[in-house]
Structure 1
Amino acid sequence: MPPRYPTVGELTARAGALAAAHPGRAALRRIGRSRGGEPLTLLTVGRGERDVLVVAGPHANEPVGGATALRLAEHLLAAGPDDGPGAAAWHLLICLDPDGARRNERWLSGPMTLGHHFRRMFRPSFPEQPEWLHARSRAELLPETRALVDLQDELRPFVQFSLHGVDIGGSFVQLTRPLPGVADALARSAADRGIPLELSPFDAFFCTGPGTAVFDMPPPSRRDQFTGSLSPSHASTWYHPYRYGTTTAIVEAPMWAADEMADASPHPDPRGAVTGIGRLTERDAEFLAGLADRIRPRVPVHVAPLLRTVDDFRRSCPALVAEWDPESFAGFPGGLSGLNRAQVLALTIAARRLVLRTAGMLYQTAEGCGPAAHDVRDALDRFLTARCAVFERRCRPRWVPVADQVEHQFQVVRAAFGLLTEGARAPGAATAPA
């Protein structure tokens, strides 16, 4: 098991070594190239009546998925040529965004502290994230997105796993189709590794589900996220293969665990907490916007992607803060007074990590501007130190070893695959559309 996250180069080399060591049972192919010219590598293991698609690295700052994909490949190859009655061809896309993943390699070897992480992490601006179908036509899609969509159309998989690694929180699963039984498997694996289950993640705040930390994503006609959010689920590669009968499972494993994400007890002051979240976020956004404007004329081309992400936050912040106004929870089940500790912490983490990510990438932007921006860099350094300290006191995060993150995600994927296979074999099971 890996003591740390593998780099893009290590993922590619290991996938190639597995394919070379198992000719006839594993194959490697390039399904496209990234905007920066990186190969998009697909490792296929096994044969069967069904195709399984695993997408690792859909978000550049979430590196666990590549290690999980290789863990799956090694397991399948060790299991022998027939992996039981549910045998399938597993297609493992080891990194959907290699350009962005390479920008994150500066923090992968540690130290694993929030301060180091946020000063070195990179998350592309929303239009530059290949998971989302935000272009007007297929020809306008990012090359990484187009490669994934083409692969989905080619395979028409009966299940797609999108592997994510939330920075702070707990584990949870989102589903585009119901999957009874997966909540039990998720709970067992999380308990074995001391990982909390996230009762109400920001990404699924308005979703319901069949069990703890499992959420059925609603149809496009219904709200699934805060409307100010930059990631509408239905305009995503999660739903693109839905027409083929595909079930997509988004599997989240946390880097840092926050145990209060599993606390369903009533919050003592939800109004005060939510009001405070909004006010602090608004104040921090104004401070960061001012620093961004100061260095904007000096930003060199090679760090411009960092500033685009900062501008994303600046545009989205007013809408998010407006939605976190206490009055906006009038239509929430139980209203504002019904929010529990897990829900309030989910909102707190969502707001704080937006601020910290933005500050961290602005810090790197100032570094890239050289001595002329040292004053801005120093101001951001102080800001990050102070805000990370407050965040740690509020969330009490504890690092989850990479090996535990990988093994947890691996176990959940295998369990979900088994449940889907059993469901497909059950008498009277529905047939996927052609």
Structure 2
Amino acid sequence: MDELGAWAAALAARRPDAARLRRVGTSRAGEPLWLLSVGRGSRQTLVVGGPHANEPVGGATVRRLAERLVVDARLTEGADTTWNLLLCLDPDGLRQNEGWLTGPYTLDRYVRRFYRPSFLEQPEWLPDGPDSVALPETRALLALQDELRPFLQCSLHGVDVGGGFVELTHELPGLARRLARASVRLGIPRELGSYDALYWPGLGPAVYRIPPPRRAGLTAAITEAAVDSTWTHPRRHGTVTAVVEAPMWAVDAVADATPPADRDGVLSAVSATLRHDTRLLHRLLARLRPKLPDTPDTARLLAPVDDYLLVCPRLADAWDPATDDGSERGLPPLTTAHLVALRIAGRRLALRTAGLLHQVVTVAGHDPADVLPELDRLLDRWCAEYRDGCAARWVPVARQAEFQSRLILAAFDLAGRHVSAPFRTGKPGRGPEATVPVHRD
């Protein structure tokens, strides 16, 4: 966080003609929310870095994008556009991940230092609607959306293990082709059966349509992103939102669109493994919880553990062909890529839970229930299954950031070309549609 803020301040000081930095809010822990604006055009874009605490690639992407914007006037003055880059939406959460951010980048190190707050403390979600928002980070983002009324919003996310993909509130014809080109050039597989978008319509390979929000219980909200969010809130301003996902560890099999050889067998195994892991983690938590100190750190780490253990049985049932009743919420047609993504997602939930329990003990300073040896064995074995069973490979940070940057610029270009209604600008009245030059591969 300190490095990112210092870089932005230095850029604004070096190029005051092109860039301005202002504080647009304050986190729960008192961290500033910084907005870097580049250009002075009437059309507004909004790029949101760091919405999820364990997905730091957005900060690197913001840096890469801003350094280009200050030297390429075609994307600012030439496009009558101001780019607004929110450095990090959840700075408190990012602070909790700084233990692994300096490397070495191994799965073992990542999961033992991983942190992601509970669902209700993640600032992009509006489970009770925009009028009942409790988090100051969320209020700041909503206010910024209503102030700027951007024609394009990009939310920058990072898949820990898997491939790259994009989720859209509006169709942008041509984006799937641009994504495919970036995938080939950068060696990042497209995630053709994303777990996040399992029940969402496809708009092309690795491009998914974010459905309108609906009323849902907590488990559905966590697993299906079914509730209102800051992705969909600015639709009233004509905003197109693109959620851009880049993987930290890539798995080539997520791009395998062939029909599966044994769909039901794989689903049964994935569901059985998730149930087994959940029972094991429940037992460890039951041994540990009564002996833990009653501290804010303990509560912070156990809140997401409770979320994961709440949703795991529901997901195991949803994926199990033996419990598929053929209802509307039943599984869609599945490719090999879908099955790989579900296998990764099931293991991800168990790994995150075990990693958080490991941190609970290490933060407490002692192991009151003698669970660390078992947790270490589990984490070692499950990480090895990712590396060996899924052939997960580290994607250099520069490639992650370049992948996101290319897709942001592609969405920027295509939004002006293909959205039929004129966009509202950050000022009263309507702004023009535009086609602007972007980087070509």
The normalised TM-score by structure 1 is: 0.91
Q: Deviations over 1:109-156 (max 9, x none)?
A: 222221111111101110111110124663542010010011111111
**Residue deviations 1:227-257 (CA, integer Å, cap 9, x gap):** 4744524421100101111000000110011
Identify the residue that residue 162 of structure 1 maps to in structure 2.
Answer: 155
1:420 is the counterpart of 2:421: no
Alignment pair present for 1:141 and 2:134: yes
How far apart in 1 are the matches of 2:7 and 2:249? Answer: 26
Retained in 1: the 8 A contact 2:76–2:83? no
Q: Which amino acid aligns with 2:98?
A: E
- Could you tell me which runs of 5 or more consecutive residues in structure 1 were left unpaired when the two chains were aligned: 1-7
Is the 1:25–1:81 contact (alpha carbons within 8 Å) kept by the matching residues of 2? no
| Correspondence for 1:194 among 183, 187, 200 | 187
What residue in structure 2 maps to residue 61 of structure 1? 54
CA shift for structure 1 position 23: 1.3
| Residue aligned with 1:198, SS | coil
Deviation at 1:303?
Answer: 3.2
What's the secondary structure of 1:202's corresponding residue?
coil
The equivalent position to 1:106 in structure 2, one of 99, 102, 127, is 99
What is the CA–CA distance in structure 1 between the aligned matches of 2:309 and 2:257, rounded to whole Å? 32
Matched, 1:369 2:352: no
The 3 A distance-change label for structure 1 pair 331 and 248 is: farther
SS in structure 2 at match of 1:303:
helix
Q: Does 1:301 align with 2:296?
A: yes
**Is the deviation greater in 287-296 or in 191-200?**
287-296
DSSP-derived class of the 1:119 partner = helix
For 1:210, the aligned partner's letter is: L
Name the CA distance, whole Å, in 2 between partners of 1:70 and 1:180.
27
Q: Distance in 1 between matches of 2:246 and 2:413?
A: 20
Deviations 1:72-109 (A, max 9, x none): 11111011487364231111000000000011111112
Moved more, 121-130 or 72-81: 72-81
Q: Secondary structure at the match of 1:250?
A: strand
Query: Which one of the candidate residues 59, 72, 91 is aligned to 2:84?
Result: 91
Structure 1 residues 243, 383: closer, same or farther in 2, change over 3 A? same
Tell me, in whole angstroms, the C-alpha distance in 2 between the residues paired with 1:239 and 1:283: 36
Aligned residue for 1:166, secondary structure, equals: strand
Secondary structure at the counterpart of residue 316 of structure 2: helix
Aligned to 2:434: none
Q: d(CA) in 1 for partners of 2:200 and 2:374?
A: 39
**CA separation of 1:337/1:266 partners in 2, compared to 1, >3 Å: closer, same or farther?**
farther
Classify 1:221/1:135 alpha carbon distance in 2 versus 1 (closer, same or farther; 3 Å). Answer: closer
Select 2:212's aligned residue among 216, 219, 222. Answer: 219
**Which residue number corresponds to residue 321 of structure 2?**
326
Q: Do residues 118 (structure 1) and 107 (structure 2) align? A: no
What's the CA shift string for 1:318-367, capped at 9, x where partnerless? 2111111214556499x879532101011111111011011001100011
- 1:380 corresponds in structure 2 to 375
Equivalent pair of 1:54/1:161 in contact (CA under 8 Å): yes
Aligned 8 A contact 1:182 1:415 in 2: yes
| CA apart distance, 1:304 | 2.0
Unaligned runs of 5+ residues in structure 2 are 430-441
SS of 1:373's equivalent? coil
* CA distance, structure 2, for counterparts of residue 50 and residue 41 of structure 1: 20
1:358 aligns with 2:353: yes
User: Hey, what's the Cα distance between the residues in 1 that align with 2:118 and 2:250?
Assistant: 25
Q: Which amino acid aligns with 1:119?
A: R
Match of 1:73 in 2: 66
Distance 1:327 1:217 in 2: 28
Q: Select the residue among 404, 412, 420 that pairs with 1:409.
A: 404
Pair 1:242-2:246 in alignment? no
Residue 278 in structure 1 maps to residue 277 in structure 2: no
* In 2, Cα distance between equivalents of 1:144 and 1:276: 40
**Cα pair distance change 1:153/1:328, threshold 3 Å:** farther
Deviating more after overlay: 235-244 vs 283-292: 283-292
Tell me which of 198, 203, 207 is aligned to 1:210.
Answer: 203
Which deviates more, 297-306 or 382-391? 297-306
Letter aligned with residue 317 of structure 1? C
Contact 2:50 2:57 in 1 (8 A): yes
Amino acid paired to 1:259: D
- Mapped contact 1:229–1:320 kept (Cα < 8 A): no
User: Which letter does structure 2 place at the counterpart of 1:94?
Assistant: L
**Compared CA separation, residues 423 and 388, structure 1 to 2 (3 A):** same
Aligned to 1:132: 125
Amino acid at match of 2:272: R
Aligned equivalents of 2:331, 2:359: Cα separation in 1: 38
Identity of aligned residues (%): 50
Post-superposition offset of 1:25: 1.9
- Residue of structure 2 equivalent to 1:5: none
Partners of 1:338 and 1:91 lie apart in 2 by 39
Amino acid at match of 1:430: A
**What secondary structure is seen at the aligned counterpart in 1 of 2:37?**
strand
Partner Cα distance (2:326, 2:400) in 1: 36
* Residues 213-222 or 349-358, more deviating: 213-222
1:389: which partner in 2?
Answer: 384
Counterpart code for 2:348: R
Q: Tell me, in whole angstroms, the C-alpha distance in 1 between the residues paired with 2:345 and 2:45.
A: 31
**Structure 1 residues 238, 50: closer, same or farther in 2, change over 3 A?**
same
8 Å Cα contact 1:104/1:120 also seen in 2: yes
> Aligned letter for 1:362?
L
1:347 to 342, 346, 359: 342
1:134-179: per-residue Cα shift (whole Å, max 9, x none)? 2466354201001001111111110000001100111101000010
Distance in 2 separating the partners of 1:59 and 1:376? 28
Partner AA of 1:33 in structure 2: T
